[in-house]
Chain A
Amino acid sequence: MNIMNDQRFFDLAMKAIAGHAMDAERAELDELLAREPKSKTEFVRLQAEVRFMRELLPLVNATEATTGEFPAYARERLQTKVRQTLGRPEKADQLKQFQPKNVLQWEQMPGSPKYHGKKNRRSIWSRLTRFFRGTSLPEIQVGILERSDIIRGPGSPPMARAKSRHEEPFSQTSMHRDATNLLKQTWRNASVHSFANTKELTDWESESGKAATVKIIYDQPAGEVRVLGEWNGNTLNKTFPIDRDLSTTLKLIKNYLDHFIAA
């Protein structure tokens, strides 16, 4: 018998170590231990591995713990430490040494995983710095109008009037799909709300939500993206015209928001 691979021996050993073995099982194990010279060594090894497991499992479980809030009295102390280590957002020179460029260099070292792309590293850096500068992030909500032909009346901006000639609902156009995807890619964890008309959108926009919420409204007919909300006691209300294209505007907004949140 190969004692190392024997499931029966393993089961008996586990029961004995845990103190669950019945008399008959204990006797069967004793017989195996007496008969197989290697089984004693294996049994002792299993005892040690069980100890390892009992120590390791709480640490593995801890990585998925969700309860407990960072104590308010220690927040300032931690933020000071963060500032000393990571620097303030505006101090680019202090931040430089920790920026993704250098992370890239570490990862180019032999043996480092090759599958982590540049984008992923930027995301890590961004999440880490945000995390350590505050202890959480505001909730981001995105609002999109579904139809373009009923949004604006006479006197609307030229862009809106041009779009209103489209018979096809905006929600079914590739432009709408592209815009939605772009917004989702820019704010991956954001909740996306679609609205059939301006009134619904305006109602949602003016709803007073939670304090730590930022709303991003893509008003395609008006050719603009509005950003409003509240974070850390600061109010945000800014309109970004889509001068070039939506992608460029969203990058500007993301950059603006990152600074607003980190401030």
Chain B
Amino acid sequence: MWPTLLAVTQHKLSQILPQDVEDVAIEAFEELVPKVHKVKVVEELKPLAASIAHNRAVSVLRAHFAAKRGAGQTQSFESLKGTTEDSSETAVAESPLDGLDQAELSGLISHLLTYFHPEQRAILNDFFFDGLRHDQIASKHGLAIGTVGVYLKRGLEAVRRAVARQPKLLKELEAFLR
């Protein structure tokens, strides 16, 4: 459980608030404890932990930006974007997932965990994270270049289906389209 919490807080905070990574993960762990009884199967625990850690990290980032401006008020990333010298930081911190509550985010993670098999996830990571080109991914996994595109398309279709199932997610996506 701890590696999951730490991985999420590292992802969200390591660039802007690296000193808070561990503290926020510990707080997320404490927040997880009273929510354990809501879990129906053990497999739901880690997605729930990841969503708690994510939302906590987002709150910490918001508080950080608010404090930096001396307002003492939390603000949406959207309102901060492009308005100050910190726009590059807020751009890093901003996420289309920020408006989701824990249950919604946890459900989304569980859905994708079920859907993505390991090989597909490896290809998605290569493309979306490591920035590898189609031909590099094909060579790495011994696939035809066309197959890489098919994997990517299926991955995004899974996200699209997950979004369609949750009205709030759809709203978030539409907000990003505007």
Contact = CB atoms under 8 A, between A and B. Distances in A.
Q: Do A and B bind each other?
A: yes
A65 B156 contact: no
B134 interface: yes
B121 A61 contact: yes
B142 interface: no
Interface in B39-68: 39-42, 45-47, 49-51, 53-54
A116 interface: yes
Interface residues of B, number: 61
B34 interface: yes
A34 B71 CA distance: 46
A121 B30 CA distance: 23
A60 B116 contact: yes
Contacts of A112: 40
Nearest to A41: B177
Interface string A182-211: 000000000000000000000000000000
A53 B176 CA distance: 13
Interface in A50-106: 50-71, 74, 77-78, 81-82, 85-86, 97-98, 102-103, 106
B118 to A, nearest CB: 9
Contacts of B156: 46, 49-50, 53
A152 interface: no
Interface of B: 1-8, 11, 22, 26, 29-30, 33-34, 36-42, 45-47, 49-51, 53-54, 95-97, 105, 108-109, 112-113, 116, 121, 124-125, 127-129, 131, 133-134, 146, 149-150, 152-153, 155-156, 159-160, 163, 173, 176-177
